[in-house]
Amino acid sequence: MKSKKLAGEKAVEYIQNNTLVGLGTGSTVYYTIVKLAERVKSGLNVKCVSTSSSTTKLAKELGINMVPLHEIEYIDVTIDGADEVDCKLNGIKGGGGALLYEKLVAKASKKVIWVVDSNKKVETLGKFPLPIEVVPFSYKQLYDKFYSLGYNPSIRMLNESYYVTDAQHYIIDLHLDKIENPYVLEKELKMMSGVVDTGLFLDMADTVIIGYEDEDKVKIIER
Ligand code: 5RP
């Protein structure tokens, strides 16, 4: 998709020499990683922290120097995708199942950039199902709780089995349609035992780069 490529590649301009970079997950960041690898081949020196096994595999194959999160103090800039972004630059992430590591990497970053195509920009969060990463041991109790609260849960599947995250958890997607107050919902969900994290990324993105299918330039929104 042209819009994803434009946004994904543009973000590489924010990466400075001799820095630590967080690499997100998904089809838009794919273009960031490929472009970054080109710059690395031409002499750019960076160390990168990955947010998923799929990103680690791709980045390593392309010759990018990877480092685990526990070996560093902070990350200079993280570039990641998003499933929805509102006008306050709050978003939903985790469509690709990497929400937990994506949030941990974002929290360790001085600057967070999201790269998205224009379809991801919304007035109100919630049309995209909100992923909740849960401990497998209590997934049924959590599913029932979400159901009783009217949150329309579904357990994420992969090839007729439950989808398992890189951290060995399950994901329950909440089909909410509209999230009136994401801060209240985040607090409520994080209070539930067995919830590891949610796909609500609030006050985390500093910059959003939006690509369009019918334009050759991107739109950049700063917090
Ligand atoms: C993965 C994510 C992705 O960043 C999100 O799903 C966007 O992906 P894509 O760029 O493929 O549309 O949160 O967990």
Q: Give the model confidence (pLDDT) of 17-71 as tens digits.
A: 999 999 999 999 999 999 999 999 999 999 999 999 999 999 999 999 999 999 9
**Residue 102 annotated in active site:** yes
In angstroms, the Cα distances linking 101 to 23, 50, 62 are 10, 8, 21
Q: What tens digit of pLDDT does each residue of 104-137 get?
A: 999 999 999 999 999 999 999 999 999 999 999 9
**Distance, CA of 34 to CA of 152 (rounded, Å):** 37
Cα angle: 31, vertex 197, 64; to 5 degrees:
30
Predicted confidence at residue 67, as pLDDT, reads 98
Residue 156 lies in a domain: yes
Among the listed residues 188, 146, 149, the one whose alpha carbon sits nearest the alpha carbon of residue 171: 146
Report residue 61 CA to chain centroid gap. 21
Query: 147: left (phi > 0), else alpha (psi -120 to 50), else beta?
Result: alpha
CA of 82 to the centre of ligand 1 (A): 5
Annotated catalytic residue: which of 9, 13, 84, 102?
Answer: 102
Q: What mean pLDDT do residues 186-213 have? A: 98
Which CATH number do you get for residue 85? 3.40.50.1360
- Domain range for 24 is 2-120+202-213
Instruction: State whether the beta carbon of 129 lies less than 6 angstroms from ligand 1.
Output: no
149/185 same-domain check: yes
Model confidence at 215, in pLDDT bands (50, 70, 90)? confident
146/169 same-domain check: yes
Q: Calculate what percentage of the chain has a pLDDT beyond 70.
A: 100
Which residues, 6+ apart, have CB-to-CB distance to 188 below 8 Å?
none
Predicted confidence at residue 186, as pLDDT, reads 98
Is residue 1 pLDDT above 90, yes or no? no
Is residue 76 pLDDT above 90, yes or no? yes
Q: Mean pLDDT across the chain, nearest whole number?
A: 98
CA of 87 to the centre of ligand 1 (A): 18
Angle between the N-to-C axes of helices 29-41 and 53-61, in degrees from 0 to 180, rounded to the nearest 10: 30
Is residue 95 pLDDT above 90, yes or no? yes
Residue 222 lies in a domain: no
Q: What mean pLDDT do residues 88-98 have? A: 98
Q: Which residue has the tokens 């999201």?
A: 114
Residue 59 lies in a domain: yes
Predicted confidence at residue 221, as pLDDT, reads 98
